[in-house]
C-alpha cells in the first residue's frame, strides 16, 4: 500500500524537528539558546529543518517507496532512544548522533538485488539533493549575497546531503553501502565514486 500514514507524518515531523534542534545546539552550544534573539534561533532552526531534516527524511522515504514498489510492507518509525541520544550528544559533546528513526521493511520474499536497489535509493536521493543545492548556490550568492539565508541554505544543504550520501555508501552494516556491495560491487563502487566526487570535487576546486 502506497502513501504515508498519519502516524508516519507525526513521527517524521518529530524526527525532523529533533535533528534540526540537535544540530543547532551542537553548533551554538546550549548557552547559545539564551544568548541569541528568538528570531535568529527560529531562522537557524528553519534552515536546519530545510537542509538536514529534509535530507534525512527524503533519504528514508526513498527506501520506503522503492520497497513498496517491490510489494514489501514499509513504514517510517522513529526511535525514541535515538532521539534522546541525538539531543544528549549535541548538548554534552557538541556533535550529533543522528539516529532518530528509520524505515522498517517487511517482505516474505526479497532478493539480494531488490534489497540492494532499495538501499541505494537513499544515497542516490542525497546525491540528487546535493547537486540541486550546489546548483542553487552561485545563483543565491549572486542574487541575494553570500551572507543571505538563501546562500546559507544552499551551502548547508549541499554539504549535509553530500556527507549523508558518502557516509551511507560505506560498506559496513547497517549502512546502505553494505547491502549495495552484497548485491553488486560495481554499482556500489560507481555510486560511491559519484558521491565522493559530488562532495569532494567542489571543495577541491574551490580550495
pLDDT in tens, 50-99: 998 889 889 999 999 999 999 999 999 999 998 899 889 888 888 877 77
Residue 203 pLDDT: 66
Do 1 and 52 share a domain, yes or no? yes
> 529534509: which residue's cell?
54
Percent of the chain with pLDDT over 70: 96
Looking at the fold, whether 120 and 190 belong to one and the same domain comes out as yes
**Grid coordinates given for 121:** 535509493
Mean pLDDT, the chain, whole residue set: 90
95-112 pLDDT, tens digit per residue, is 877 778 889 999 988 999
Task: Judge if 82 and 120 occupy the same domain.
Answer: no
Domains identified in the chain, total number: 2
- Identified catalytic residue from 8, 60, 108, 152: 60
Question: Does one domain contain both 93 and 1?
Answer: yes
Q: Do residues 16 and 85 both lie within one domain?
A: yes
58 and 135 co-located in one domain = no
The 10s digit of each residue's pLDDT in 181-207 is 999 999 999 999 999 999 887 766 555
Q: Are residues 47 and 96 in the same domain?
A: yes
Residue 125 shares a structural domain with residue 101: no
154 close to 131: Cβ distance less than 8 angstroms: no
Whether 60 is catalytic is yes
pTM of the shown model? 0.89
- Per the structure, the complete domain to which residue 161 belongs is given by 111-207
Amino acid at each position: 500500500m502506497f502513501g504515508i500514514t498519519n502516524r508516519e507524518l507525526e513521527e517524521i515531523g518529530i524526527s525532523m524537528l529533533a535533528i534540526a534542534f540537535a544540530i543547532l545546539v551542537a553548533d551554538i552550544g546550549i548557552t547559545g539558546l539564551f544568548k541569541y534573539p528568538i528570531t535568529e534561533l527560529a531562522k537557524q532552526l528553519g534552515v536546519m529543518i530545510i537542509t538536514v531534516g529534509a535530507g534525512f527524511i527524503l533519504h528514508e522515504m526513498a527506501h520506503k517507496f522503492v520497497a513498496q514498489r517491490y510489494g514489501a510492507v514499509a513504514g517510517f518509525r522513529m526511535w525514541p532512544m535515538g532521539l534522546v541520544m541525538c539531543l544528549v550528544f549535541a548538548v554534552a559533546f557538541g556533535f550529533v548522533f543522528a539516529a532518530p528513526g528509520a524505515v522498517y521493511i517487511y517482505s516474505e520474499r526479497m532478493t539480494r538485488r531488490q534489497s540492494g536497489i532499495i538501499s541505494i535509493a537513499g544515497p542516490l536521493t542525497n546525491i540528487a539533493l546535493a547537486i540541486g543545492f550546489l546548483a542553487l548556490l552561485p545563483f543565491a550568492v549572486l542574487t541575494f549575497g553570500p551572507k543571505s539565508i538563501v546562500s546559507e541554505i544552499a551551502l548547508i544543504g549541499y554539504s549535509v546531503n553530500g556527507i549523508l550520501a558518502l557516509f551511507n555508501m560505506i560498506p559496513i552494516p547497517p549502512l546502505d553501502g553494505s547491502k549495495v556491495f552484497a548485491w553488486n560491487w560495481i554499482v556500489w563502487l560507481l555510486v560511491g565514486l559519484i558521491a565522493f566526487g559530488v562532495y569532494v570535487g567542489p571543495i577541491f576546486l574551490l580550495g
